[in-house]
Homo-oligomer: A and B are copies of this chain.
Amino acid sequence: MSVVIDGLQYANWSEKIFRQMRAGGVDAVHVTITYHESFRETVLNIEAWNRQFERFPDLIFQGFGAEDVTRAKETGRTAIFFGAQNPSCIEDDIGLVEVLHRLGLRFMQLTYNNQSLLATGCYEAEDTGLTRMGREVVAEMNRVGLVVDMSHSSERSTLEAIAHSTRPIAITHANPATWHAARRNKSDRVLGALAESGGMLGFSLYPHHLQGGGGCTVSSFCEMVARTVDRMGVERLGIGSDLCQDQPDSVVDWMRSGRWTKAVDYGEGSADAPGFPPMLEWFQDNRHFGAISDGLRAVGMSIAEVEAIMGGNWLRFFRESFGPNEAAL
């Protein structure tokens, strides 16, 4: 059974988007539920999701394990898996790792652009790698089955997370820096270590991560994917669209500036273009995953390879990653 899984989205969720996910045949999505929010604020975000689940049971439900992806496929719905883009939600308390995992958190970035209590973000000048707490928290995440995500982290921290983690990690939404040298894209060294450790890369469709930005063509994107298959192996790759549909620009302010600065941090944007960039003409929303699979076929990939990248690899990774570590039992 082939499935479509998106490795990261952060939309302004609504019935319209849930229906677009059904129209696009999206069986599961890893959704960001929190950035700089405290634990209590994150729980409020979970409560808001619970209301969506209660309101739209025919369209969505919360996913906890890989079996929920097949259940979604079989019942014509989309399974929603929770993730955090920064570890603010665990505050200074390692005990919250297990608590948030129980509430369904399945991915957590160790950093979002800045230094955190755990590791260094990709916008810091100095990267000191995993902190003392970072090493403890990665071990606890390994124990309970919460995936380490290093999408917004810096080089050394990412390499140390890959090395220190006893289970494969993910870079849910980024592209190879050799294709487009953005600060958020990843070096060959990182991608090689990620592949070797059994980790996953989700290809981003966020314009700032693309060669040519919003003008990137589907064939350029798909040729990049094919070249990454040659480098990392097809089984290490998925999609992590980074779709931020229908969000007001106040949200990108929160993502970038949180409560850590009184000024405005433009992140990947600039003073001239401070908001969300317009999405690609060929990937506007969840209805357009077919453009990617068609494009991957057009650059010569087999049906089996395309199915693996569109969801099969994430499904295997979910199965291996979301439960307690067998070694810990």
The answer to whether B99 touches A43 (Cβ under 8 A) is: yes
The interface-forming segment of A44-52, A165-173, A227-235 is: A44-52
A187 to B291, CA, bound (A): 70
Q: CB of A268 within 8 A of chain B?
A: no
In the complex, A103 has a CB within 8 A of chain B:
yes
Chain B contacts for A96, CB-based, 8 A: 43, 47
Given A99-B103, A102-B103, A103-B102, residue A43 in contact with residue B39 (CB < 8 A): yes
| B95 contacts A47, C-beta separation under 8 Å | yes
Complexed CA–CA distance, A99 and B51 (Å):
11
The secondary-structure label for the interface of chain A is helix
A40 at the interface (CB under 8 A from B): yes
Decide if A93 is an interface residue (CB 8 Å cutoff).
yes
A95→B46 CA distance, assembly (Å): 9
A307 interfacial contact with B, CB 8 Å: no
Is A127 close to B, CB under 8 A? Answer: no
A295 to chain B, nearest CB (A): 40
A98 interface contact, C-beta 8 A:
yes
User: Cβ of B98 and Cβ of A50 under 8 Å apart?
Assistant: yes
A62 vs chain B, min Cβ distance (A):
9
Number of copies: 2
Complex CA distance for A44 and B95, rounded to whole angstroms: 8
Closest residue of B by beta carbon distance from A51: B95
Chain A, residues 175-208, CB within 8 Å of chain B (1/0): the string is 0000000000000000000000000000000000
Chain B residues contacting A48 (CB-CB under 8 Å) are: 95
In contact, A98 and B47 (Cβ under 8 angstroms) = yes
B99 adjacent to A47 (CB under 8 Å): yes
State which residues 15-47 of A face B: CB under 8 Å: 39-40, 43-44, 46-47
- A83-127 vs B, CB cutoff 8 Å, 1 = contact: the mask equals 000000000010110110011100000000000000000000000
CA–CA, A39 and B103, complex, Å? 14
- Chain B proximity mask over A37-76: 1 for CB below 8 Å, otherwise 0: 0011001101110110000000000000000000000000
Q: How far is the CB of A141 from chain B (nearest CB, A)?
A: 14
Give Cα distance in the complex from A51 to B140, angstroms.
12
B93/A47 in contact, CB under 8 A = yes
Question: Which residue of chain B is the closest to A44 with respect to CB atoms?
Answer: B95
Query: Do residues B50 and A95 form an inter-chain contact, with CB atoms below 8 A?
Result: yes
CA distance in complex: A39, B104 (Å): 18
Query: Which residues does chain B contribute within 8 Å of A99, judged by CB atoms?
Result: 43, 46-47, 50, 103
**Chain B residues near A51 (CB-CB < 8 A):** 95
For A46, list chain B residues within 8 Å (CB): 99
A-B contact pairs, 15 of them (CB 8 A): A39-B40, A39-B43, A40-B40, A43-B96, A44-B93, A46-B99, A47-B95, A47-B96, A47-B98, A48-B95, A50-B98, A50-B99, A99-B103, A102-B103, A103-B103
- Given A39-B43, A47-B93, 6 further pairs, Cβ under 8 A: A40-B40, A43-B99, A44-B95, A47-B95, A50-B99, A102-B104
